[in-house]
Amino acid sequence: MKIAIVCYPTFGGSGVVATELGIALANRGHEVHFITYRQPVRLALLSGNIHFHEVHVPEYPLFHYQPYELALSSKLVDTVKLYGIELLHVHYAIPHAYAGFMAKKMLQEEGISIPMVTTLHGTDITLVGNHPFYKPAVTFSINNSDVVTSVSQSLKDDTLRLFNIRKEIHVVPNFIDKRKYSQDFTDCQRDMMANEDERIITHISNFRKVKRIPDIIQIFYRVQQKLPSKLIMVGEGPERTEAEQLCRTLGIENKVLFLGNSNEIDRILCFSDLFLLPSKTESFGLAALEAMINSVPVISSNTGGIPEINTNGVSGFLSDVGDVEEMAANAIHILEDDTRLEKFKKNAKEEALKFDIANIVPVYEEIYQKAFSLA
Protein backbone atom coordinates (compact mmCIF):
# COMPACT_ATOMS: atom_id res chain seq x y z
CA MET A 1 0.00 0.00 0.00
CA LYS A 2 1.12 3.59 -0.53
CA ILE A 3 0.23 5.49 2.63
CA ALA A 4 0.60 9.17 3.52
CA ILE A 5 1.04 9.82 7.24
CA VAL A 6 0.30 13.33 8.48
CA CYS A 7 1.53 14.12 11.99
CA TYR A 8 3.27 16.62 14.23
CA PRO A 9 7.04 16.16 13.92
CA THR A 10 7.84 17.23 17.49
CA PHE A 11 8.59 15.30 20.69
CA GLY A 12 4.86 14.86 21.50
CA GLY A 13 3.42 11.37 21.79
CA SER A 14 1.17 11.60 18.73
CA GLY A 15 4.14 12.33 16.46
CA VAL A 16 6.15 9.52 18.04
CA VAL A 17 3.32 7.01 17.54
CA ALA A 18 2.76 8.14 13.93
CA THR A 19 6.46 7.88 13.15
CA GLU A 20 6.96 4.45 14.77
CA LEU A 21 3.84 3.17 13.00
CA GLY A 22 5.10 4.48 9.65
CA ILE A 23 8.49 2.82 10.15
CA ALA A 24 6.81 -0.48 11.08
CA LEU A 25 4.52 -0.29 8.03
CA ALA A 26 7.54 0.38 5.81
CA ASN A 27 9.28 -2.65 7.31
CA ARG A 28 6.26 -4.70 6.25
CA GLY A 29 6.67 -3.57 2.65
CA HIS A 30 4.34 -0.58 2.47
CA GLU A 31 5.48 2.68 0.92
CA VAL A 32 5.14 5.39 3.56
CA HIS A 33 5.15 9.14 2.95
CA PHE A 34 5.41 11.42 5.99
CA ILE A 35 3.92 14.82 5.30
CA THR A 36 4.56 17.52 7.90
CA TYR A 37 6.44 20.78 8.46
CA ARG A 38 9.72 19.23 9.69
CA GLN A 39 11.35 15.81 9.64
CA PRO A 40 9.79 13.89 12.59
CA VAL A 41 12.19 13.56 15.54
CA ARG A 42 12.07 9.77 15.64
CA LEU A 43 12.58 9.43 11.90
CA ALA A 44 16.33 9.05 11.85
CA LEU A 45 16.71 7.12 8.62
CA LEU A 46 14.91 7.62 5.35
CA SER A 47 14.96 4.41 3.33
CA GLY A 48 13.69 3.15 -0.02
CA ASN A 49 10.09 3.02 1.11
CA ILE A 50 10.09 5.84 3.68
CA HIS A 51 9.75 9.32 2.25
CA PHE A 52 9.44 12.72 3.88
CA HIS A 53 7.70 15.71 2.28
CA GLU A 54 8.06 19.05 4.00
CA VAL A 55 5.12 21.43 4.10
CA HIS A 56 6.29 25.00 3.54
CA VAL A 57 4.16 27.93 4.59
CA PRO A 58 5.39 31.09 2.88
CA GLU A 59 5.29 34.15 5.12
CA TYR A 60 3.07 36.93 3.87
CA PRO A 61 2.74 40.16 5.87
CA LEU A 62 -0.99 40.48 5.22
CA PHE A 63 -1.63 37.30 7.20
CA HIS A 64 -1.62 37.66 10.94
CA TYR A 65 -1.77 33.81 11.01
CA GLN A 66 -0.06 31.88 8.23
CA PRO A 67 -2.54 29.36 6.70
CA TYR A 68 -0.86 26.00 7.49
CA GLU A 69 -4.00 23.93 6.74
CA LEU A 70 -4.11 25.37 3.23
CA ALA A 71 -0.45 24.59 2.57
CA LEU A 72 -0.87 21.09 4.05
CA SER A 73 -3.95 20.23 1.98
CA SER A 74 -2.26 21.48 -1.19
CA LYS A 75 0.84 19.42 -0.36
CA LEU A 76 -1.37 16.37 0.21
CA VAL A 77 -3.05 16.82 -3.18
CA ASP A 78 0.30 17.21 -4.98
CA THR A 79 1.94 14.28 -3.18
CA VAL A 80 -1.01 11.94 -3.72
CA LYS A 81 -0.93 12.70 -7.44
CA LEU A 82 2.84 12.53 -7.80
CA TYR A 83 3.38 9.27 -5.92
CA GLY A 84 0.03 7.54 -6.49
CA ILE A 85 -0.71 7.48 -2.76
CA GLU A 86 -3.70 5.29 -1.94
CA LEU A 87 -4.61 6.23 1.64
CA LEU A 88 -4.26 9.16 4.07
CA HIS A 89 -3.67 8.42 7.74
CA VAL A 90 -3.85 11.63 9.76
CA HIS A 91 -2.74 11.70 13.40
CA TYR A 92 -4.30 14.36 15.63
CA ALA A 93 -7.58 15.84 14.45
CA ILE A 94 -6.49 19.49 14.51
CA PRO A 95 -5.92 20.60 11.83
CA HIS A 96 -4.85 17.39 10.12
CA ALA A 97 -8.27 15.78 9.69
CA TYR A 98 -9.65 19.08 8.44
CA ALA A 99 -6.80 19.51 5.91
CA GLY A 100 -7.10 15.84 4.92
CA PHE A 101 -10.80 16.24 4.20
CA MET A 102 -10.14 19.29 2.00
CA ALA A 103 -7.45 17.35 0.12
CA LYS A 104 -9.90 14.47 -0.41
CA LYS A 105 -12.46 16.90 -1.85
CA MET A 106 -9.93 18.57 -4.16
CA LEU A 107 -8.77 15.16 -5.40
CA GLN A 108 -12.37 14.09 -6.00
CA GLU A 109 -12.72 17.04 -8.41
CA GLU A 110 -9.94 15.40 -10.41
CA GLY A 111 -11.55 11.96 -10.30
CA ILE A 112 -9.26 10.58 -7.58
CA SER A 113 -10.90 8.89 -4.62
CA ILE A 114 -8.73 8.36 -1.53
CA PRO A 115 -9.80 7.15 1.93
CA MET A 116 -8.81 8.96 5.11
CA VAL A 117 -8.20 7.35 8.51
CA THR A 118 -8.09 9.74 11.47
CA THR A 119 -6.41 8.77 14.73
CA LEU A 120 -7.45 10.79 17.77
CA HIS A 121 -4.66 11.23 20.29
CA GLY A 122 -6.02 13.14 23.26
CA THR A 123 -5.59 16.85 23.54
CA ASP A 124 -7.16 17.20 20.06
CA ILE A 125 -10.33 16.06 21.86
CA THR A 126 -10.05 16.80 25.56
CA LEU A 127 -8.26 20.16 25.74
CA VAL A 128 -7.99 21.90 22.38
CA GLY A 129 -10.64 20.29 20.18
CA ASN A 130 -13.36 20.73 22.74
CA HIS A 131 -12.90 24.51 22.77
CA PRO A 132 -16.03 26.18 21.30
CA PHE A 133 -13.86 27.96 18.72
CA TYR A 134 -12.76 24.62 17.22
CA LYS A 135 -15.56 22.23 18.11
CA PRO A 136 -17.72 22.48 14.94
CA ALA A 137 -14.68 21.97 12.67
CA VAL A 138 -13.39 19.05 14.76
CA THR A 139 -16.83 17.38 14.83
CA PHE A 140 -17.13 17.81 11.08
CA SER A 141 -13.64 16.41 10.40
CA ILE A 142 -14.22 13.35 12.58
CA ASN A 143 -17.64 12.61 11.06
CA ASN A 144 -16.19 12.96 7.56
CA SER A 145 -13.22 10.64 8.08
CA ASP A 146 -13.69 7.21 6.52
CA VAL A 147 -12.45 5.43 9.65
CA VAL A 148 -11.75 6.93 13.07
CA THR A 149 -9.47 5.36 15.69
CA SER A 150 -8.66 6.42 19.22
CA VAL A 151 -5.65 5.40 21.30
CA SER A 152 -7.67 4.26 24.34
CA GLN A 153 -11.16 3.32 25.42
CA SER A 154 -11.13 6.35 27.71
CA LEU A 155 -10.46 8.69 24.78
CA LYS A 156 -13.24 7.04 22.77
CA ASP A 157 -15.64 7.60 25.69
CA ASP A 158 -14.52 11.25 25.97
CA THR A 159 -15.00 11.80 22.24
CA LEU A 160 -18.51 10.37 22.28
CA ARG A 161 -19.35 12.41 25.39
CA LEU A 162 -17.96 15.74 24.16
CA PHE A 163 -18.83 15.68 20.45
CA ASN A 164 -21.84 14.73 18.38
CA ILE A 165 -20.19 11.80 16.59
CA ARG A 166 -21.98 9.63 14.05
CA LYS A 167 -18.94 7.52 13.20
CA GLU A 168 -17.89 4.29 14.82
CA ILE A 169 -14.63 4.79 16.77
CA HIS A 170 -12.16 1.90 16.83
CA VAL A 171 -9.83 1.68 19.83
CA VAL A 172 -6.28 0.89 18.72
CA PRO A 173 -3.88 1.32 21.62
CA ASN A 174 -0.43 2.83 21.29
CA PHE A 175 2.49 0.43 21.31
CA ILE A 176 6.17 -0.28 21.85
CA ASP A 177 8.48 -2.45 19.76
CA LYS A 178 9.59 -5.28 22.01
CA ARG A 179 12.40 -6.30 19.67
CA LYS A 180 14.19 -3.06 20.54
CA TYR A 181 14.22 -4.14 24.18
CA SER A 182 15.08 -7.81 23.83
CA GLN A 183 18.60 -7.12 25.13
CA ASP A 184 18.80 -5.07 28.28
CA PHE A 185 21.39 -2.31 28.24
CA THR A 186 24.16 -3.43 30.55
CA ASP A 187 26.10 -0.20 30.31
CA CYS A 188 23.59 2.33 31.58
CA GLN A 189 26.21 4.83 32.75
CA ARG A 190 24.08 5.35 35.80
CA ASP A 191 27.00 6.79 37.74
CA MET A 192 26.90 9.89 35.49
CA MET A 193 23.59 10.79 37.12
CA ALA A 194 23.63 9.58 40.71
CA ASN A 195 25.65 7.94 43.46
CA GLU A 196 25.34 4.20 43.89
CA ASP A 197 23.11 4.50 46.98
CA GLU A 198 20.69 6.92 45.29
CA ARG A 199 17.42 5.98 43.58
CA ILE A 200 16.72 7.70 40.25
CA ILE A 201 13.24 9.04 39.56
CA THR A 202 12.36 10.30 36.09
CA HIS A 203 9.71 12.37 34.36
CA ILE A 204 9.47 12.97 30.61
CA SER A 205 6.97 15.33 28.99
CA ASN A 206 6.35 18.59 27.17
CA PHE A 207 6.07 20.43 30.52
CA ARG A 208 2.58 21.71 29.87
CA LYS A 209 0.10 22.54 32.64
CA VAL A 210 -1.79 19.30 32.04
CA LYS A 211 1.30 17.36 33.24
CA ARG A 212 1.07 18.93 36.74
CA ILE A 213 4.82 19.55 36.93
CA PRO A 214 4.66 21.08 40.47
CA ASP A 215 3.17 17.77 41.71
CA ILE A 216 6.25 15.97 40.41
CA ILE A 217 8.54 18.28 42.37
CA GLN A 218 6.37 17.92 45.50
CA ILE A 219 6.35 14.11 45.25
CA PHE A 220 10.12 14.06 44.83
CA TYR A 221 10.57 16.52 47.71
CA ARG A 222 8.84 14.01 50.01
CA VAL A 223 10.72 10.99 48.62
CA GLN A 224 14.18 12.56 49.00
CA GLN A 225 13.41 13.31 52.67
CA LYS A 226 13.22 9.53 53.26
CA LEU A 227 15.54 8.05 50.64
CA PRO A 228 18.71 9.29 48.93
CA SER A 229 17.52 10.06 45.42
CA LYS A 230 17.76 12.19 42.27
CA LEU A 231 15.02 13.49 39.99
CA ILE A 232 15.65 13.67 36.25
CA MET A 233 13.32 15.96 34.31
CA VAL A 234 13.39 15.42 30.54
CA GLY A 235 11.64 17.73 28.07
CA GLU A 236 10.91 21.36 27.40
CA GLY A 237 7.80 23.45 27.84
CA PRO A 238 6.11 26.39 29.49
CA GLU A 239 6.18 24.99 33.05
CA ARG A 240 9.91 24.37 33.18
CA THR A 241 11.09 27.70 34.56
CA GLU A 242 8.55 27.69 37.38
CA ALA A 243 9.53 24.11 38.22
CA GLU A 244 13.20 25.09 38.46
CA GLN A 245 12.19 27.95 40.74
CA LEU A 246 10.15 25.60 42.94
CA CYS A 247 13.18 23.31 43.32
CA ARG A 248 15.23 26.29 44.53
CA THR A 249 12.47 27.33 46.95
CA LEU A 250 12.37 23.81 48.39
CA GLY A 251 16.19 23.67 48.52
CA ILE A 252 16.44 20.57 46.31
CA GLU A 253 17.99 22.16 43.21
CA ASN A 254 21.13 20.04 43.57
CA LYS A 255 19.08 16.86 43.43
CA VAL A 256 17.03 17.71 40.34
CA LEU A 257 18.47 17.65 36.83
CA PHE A 258 16.62 19.36 33.99
CA LEU A 259 17.96 17.77 30.80
CA GLY A 260 15.77 19.43 28.16
CA ASN A 261 14.55 17.49 25.12
CA SER A 262 16.38 14.27 24.42
CA ASN A 263 16.64 11.64 21.72
CA GLU A 264 18.16 9.27 24.30
CA ILE A 265 14.96 8.36 26.13
CA ASP A 266 15.78 4.63 26.40
CA ARG A 267 19.25 5.38 27.75
CA ILE A 268 17.76 7.66 30.43
CA LEU A 269 15.06 5.14 31.33
CA CYS A 270 17.71 2.44 31.49
CA PHE A 271 19.11 3.91 34.71
CA SER A 272 15.75 5.03 36.13
CA ASP A 273 14.10 3.31 39.09
CA LEU A 274 10.71 5.02 38.97
CA PHE A 275 8.66 7.14 36.55
CA LEU A 276 6.23 9.86 37.62
CA LEU A 277 3.14 10.80 35.57
CA PRO A 278 0.65 12.69 37.79
CA SER A 279 -1.16 14.34 34.82
CA LYS A 280 -4.52 16.03 35.11
CA THR A 281 -5.63 14.13 32.03
CA GLU A 282 -3.85 11.72 29.71
CA SER A 283 -5.54 9.88 26.86
CA PHE A 284 -2.95 7.10 26.97
CA GLY A 285 0.39 8.04 28.55
CA LEU A 286 2.92 6.79 26.00
CA ALA A 287 5.78 8.04 28.17
CA ALA A 288 4.61 5.71 30.96
CA LEU A 289 4.50 2.76 28.56
CA GLU A 290 8.01 3.58 27.34
CA ALA A 291 9.14 3.66 30.97
CA MET A 292 7.51 0.29 31.66
CA ILE A 293 9.14 -1.47 28.70
CA ASN A 294 12.45 -0.24 30.12
CA SER A 295 11.51 -1.97 33.43
CA VAL A 296 10.65 1.27 35.19
CA PRO A 297 7.54 1.16 37.44
CA VAL A 298 5.11 4.08 37.24
CA ILE A 299 3.49 6.29 39.87
CA SER A 300 0.63 8.01 38.09
CA SER A 301 -2.75 9.60 38.41
CA ASN A 302 -5.75 7.36 37.74
CA THR A 303 -7.09 9.61 35.00
CA GLY A 304 -8.01 9.08 31.32
CA GLY A 305 -6.37 6.11 29.64
CA ILE A 306 -3.55 5.65 32.17
CA PRO A 307 -5.37 2.83 34.03
CA GLU A 308 -5.49 0.96 30.72
CA ILE A 309 -1.69 0.60 30.85
CA ASN A 310 -0.53 1.06 34.47
CA THR A 311 -1.96 -1.64 36.75
CA ASN A 312 -2.34 -0.62 40.37
CA GLY A 313 -0.06 -2.62 42.68
CA VAL A 314 1.52 -4.46 39.74
CA SER A 315 3.41 -2.13 37.38
CA GLY A 316 3.18 0.78 39.83
CA PHE A 317 0.44 2.66 41.63
CA LEU A 318 -2.38 5.02 40.64
CA SER A 319 -3.85 7.83 42.76
CA ASP A 320 -6.38 10.60 42.40
CA VAL A 321 -5.15 13.66 40.51
CA GLY A 322 -3.32 15.98 42.92
CA ASP A 323 -2.90 13.45 45.75
CA VAL A 324 0.85 14.04 46.09
CA GLU A 325 0.92 12.58 49.62
CA GLU A 326 -0.34 9.20 48.43
CA MET A 327 1.85 9.28 45.32
CA ALA A 328 4.92 10.03 47.45
CA ALA A 329 4.03 7.26 49.95
CA ASN A 330 3.61 4.78 47.07
CA ALA A 331 6.90 5.89 45.52
CA ILE A 332 8.71 5.35 48.82
CA HIS A 333 7.00 1.94 49.23
CA ILE A 334 8.42 0.78 45.88
CA LEU A 335 11.85 2.36 46.26
CA GLU A 336 12.71 1.55 49.88
CA ASP A 337 13.07 -2.20 49.43
CA ASP A 338 15.43 -3.74 46.85
CA THR A 339 13.42 -6.93 46.42
CA ARG A 340 10.14 -5.06 46.05
CA LEU A 341 11.69 -2.67 43.54
CA GLU A 342 12.98 -5.60 41.47
CA LYS A 343 9.51 -7.19 41.49
CA PHE A 344 7.84 -3.96 40.31
CA LYS A 345 10.49 -3.51 37.60
CA LYS A 346 9.88 -7.02 36.31
CA ASN A 347 6.10 -6.55 36.40
CA ALA A 348 6.33 -3.20 34.59
CA LYS A 349 8.16 -4.79 31.67
CA GLU A 350 5.78 -7.75 31.54
CA GLU A 351 2.74 -5.47 31.44
CA ALA A 352 4.31 -3.31 28.71
CA LEU A 353 4.96 -6.35 26.53
CA LYS A 354 1.18 -6.66 26.06
CA PHE A 355 1.43 -3.55 23.85
CA ASP A 356 3.89 -4.94 21.33
CA ILE A 357 3.73 -3.31 17.91
CA ALA A 358 3.61 -6.74 16.26
CA ASN A 359 0.03 -7.05 17.51
CA ILE A 360 -0.96 -3.50 16.54
CA VAL A 361 0.31 -2.98 12.98
CA PRO A 362 -1.95 -5.74 11.56
CA VAL A 363 -4.90 -4.00 13.24
CA TYR A 364 -4.07 -0.78 11.40
CA GLU A 365 -3.71 -2.74 8.16
CA GLU A 366 -7.23 -4.13 8.68
CA ILE A 367 -8.47 -0.63 9.37
CA TYR A 368 -6.92 0.57 6.10
CA GLN A 369 -8.77 -2.23 4.26
CA LYS A 370 -11.99 -1.15 5.95
CA ALA A 371 -11.34 2.46 4.87
CA PHE A 372 -10.94 1.33 1.25
CA SER A 373 -14.26 -0.47 1.40
CA LEU A 374 -16.00 2.61 2.83
CA ALA A 375 -14.44 5.36 0.70
Site string for ligand GMT, 45-64 (x = CB under 6 A): --------------------
* 151 near ligand GMT, judged by CB under 6 A: yes
Residue number with CB closer to ligand GMT (128 or 188):
128
d(CA 118, CA 89): 6
Q: Among residues 134 and 372, whose Cβ is nearest to ligand GMT?
A: 134
Options 5, 9, 14, 173; binder of ligand GMT; rule CB under 6 A: 14
Q: Which long-range contacts (CB under 8 A, 24 or more apart) does 125-130 make?
A: 125/93, 125/150, 125/155, 125/158, 125/159, 125/162, 125/163, 125/283, 126/155, 126/158, 126/162, 126/281, 126/283, 126/304, 127/210, 127/281, 128/94, 129/93, 129/94, 129/162, 129/163, 130/162, 130/163
Confirm or reject binding of residue 98 to ligand GMT (CB under 6 A): no
Q: Which of 165, 241, 197, 141 is nearest to 338 (CA)?
A: 197
Quick one: 286 or 334, whose CB is closer to ligand GMT? 286
Tell me: does residue 149 bind ligand GMT (CB under 6 A): no
Q: Does 282 bind ligand GMT (CB under 6 A)?
A: yes
CB-count exposure of residue 71 (10 Å: 0-12, 13-18, 19+): middle
Q: Which stretch binds ligand GMT (CB under 6 A): 6-14, 134-142, 217-225, 348-356?
A: 6-14
- Range in contact with ligand GMT (rule: CB under 6 A) among 77-85, 133-141, 275-283, 328-336: 275-283
Residue from the set 98, 101, 284, 364 that interacts with ligand GMT by CB under 6 A: 284
| 188 vs 334: CA distance, rounded Å | 21
Which residue, among 126, 94, 142, 120, has the nearest Cα to 18 in the 3D structure?
120
- Contact mark string toward ligand GMT, 156..195, x via CB under 6 A: ------------------x---------------------
Smallest gap, in angstroms, from Cβ of residue 281 to ligand GMT?
6
Angle between helices 96-109 and 135-143 (to 10 degrees): 50
Q: Does 286 bind ligand GMT (CB under 6 A)?
A: yes
Q: What residue ranges bind ligand GMT (CB under 6 A)?
A: 12-14, 17, 92, 121-123, 151, 174, 205-206, 210, 281-286
